[in-house]
Amino acid sequence: MKTKLLILISVILVLIIVSCEKDSGPYIITKPVDTTHIVSFSNEIQPIFNDRCIVCHNQNHPFLDLRPGYSYDQLLYTGANAPYVDINNPEQSILYEHIMGVNASIMPPNNPPLTDDQKNLILLWIIQKAQNN
């Protein structure tokens, strides 16, 4: 009887342990990132800002101006909370957390979020050391 009870308890414990999943966190790259592609800030990142961000993040924004000619310096050096990118921990960059809605309100706030491709491109740019190219 004791043996059957121990076996039953063991089976239940194994089922509980096996059914638990590890939380992978909020950072999800939705498709494989092409690490062979060198992201161009001026040709790929700035157009995203132009299209989706500068309606709010312009010369009147109190923290971050993402207009052409200002955005790179603002992101890395002169913006109120600069640097907004962390090349050592790209997924913990303020910029990336805002576009993902992690620890902050998602950007842009009153429009559809950036596409997965746009989010992945920004992340790849940060992973590639956020070059001003």
Cβ–Cβ < 8 Å for 107, 17:
no
Residue 91 is given by DSSP the state: G
d(CA 35, CA 123): 11
- Checking if the pLDDT of 69 tops 70, the result is yes
pLDDT, tens only, 5-44: 556 565 565 555 555 544 444 555 555 556 688 999 999 9
Instruction: Kindly report the pTM of this predicted structure.
Output: 0.74
Half-sphere exposure of 75 toward its Cβ, with a 13 Å CA cutoff? 27
Alpha helices in the chain (DSSP H): 2-19, 46-52, 71-73, 94-100, 116-127
